[in-house]
Amino acid sequence: MAQLITTLGSKEAGELGMILPHEHVFVDLRTWDQSGYAQAEAADVIELMEPEIALAQAAGVTAIVECSPVGVGRRADILKAVSEATGFPLVVPTGIYREPWVPAWAHTASKEVLREWMICELEGEIEDSGVQAGWIKLSAGDDGLTDSETKVLRAAAAAGAATNAVIGSHTIRGRVVREQLDIVEAAGYAAEHFIWIHTQAEPDFTLHLEIARRGAWIEYDGIGSEEETDEDYLRLILRVLDAGLGDRMMLSHDRGWYDPAQPGGGTPRPFTYIGEQFLPRLRAAGVDEATVHQLTCTNPFRAFAR
């Protein structure tokens, strides 16, 4: 039986409700060579983020997929501390972000070394933290994959094929997603195990449908942001549902988070907008309760469970 691998152990579908598939609890968007990069005390992160997680729980959220891989300050030890302090499960990734955040060791590592590293984190633990990686997170440049990003993707596809872990990629352009899916499939893995993160950033809606029809997940994950309105997201979601592709779509905020580059970790944005404000608007637009459940509970579990 498929299970979601979290900081609090494996969870079955019956133990969970709403899952947010793209959020952050701790992230550092500076490059790895900056002074103080990814440095913070767990107690400080807990103090800032515990109230936000409590509000999310009150809004019906039962788990969050944390989307900070190597390159943007992944700290599995801190995530575990936050999770244990709140009693709230987080799903933590293996994988490496895009240029210029790719660390020096990953530039020199072979595809085989990267594959084995990912498998070790997916089957064992991340950096002696006691946290097992639940999925693979990576990224691609807006103009196409660099050599390093291609190597990381090929390693991820091989690691995914060995562990059944889903691969999620921060990719802005749909044509780059096409290239990524070609690489994933050539490596012997399937498009069904790939998530196009930030699909909403691609203005050509036909590419959204193309990628979903190919079998990959499309993720509208900036809900509640200033860049797009609720009406923008409602229009996208309804068009995907009308195309019969609701079983390949997920929704999230891309919110949080404790940022060690900011004084006191900065000011987090709550994980509650979808549950408290957006879903009522989705229902008012005519989306039935079964479909709401599919989009917020069933689909993210299916995507990430293994």
pLDDT of residue 108: 97
Q: What is the mean pLDDT of residues 221-245?
A: 96
Residue of higher predicted confidence among 1 and 79: 79
Confidence of residue 226 (pLDDT cuts 50, 70, 90): confident
The CA distances from residue 87 to 6, 26, 81, 125, 277, in Å, are 11, 17, 10, 20, 25
pLDDT confidence bin for 202, thresholds 50/70/90: very high
Q: At what angle do helices 111-123 and 147-163 cross, to 10 degrees?
A: 40
The answer, yes or no, to whether residue 45 has pLDDT greater than 90, is: yes
Return the closest-CA partner of residue 59 out of 279, 295, 305.
279
pLDDT (0 to 100) of residue 26: 98
End-to-end CA distance of the chain: 8
Is residue 227 pLDDT above 90, yes or no?
no
Distance CA 60, CA 287 (A): 18
Q: Is the pTM of this model over 0.85?
A: yes
- Percent of the chain residues topping a pLDDT of 70: 100
Closest CA to 294 of 253, 239, 237: 237
SS3 at position 160: helix
Q: Per DSSP, which regions of 190-236 are E strands?
A: 194-197, 217-220
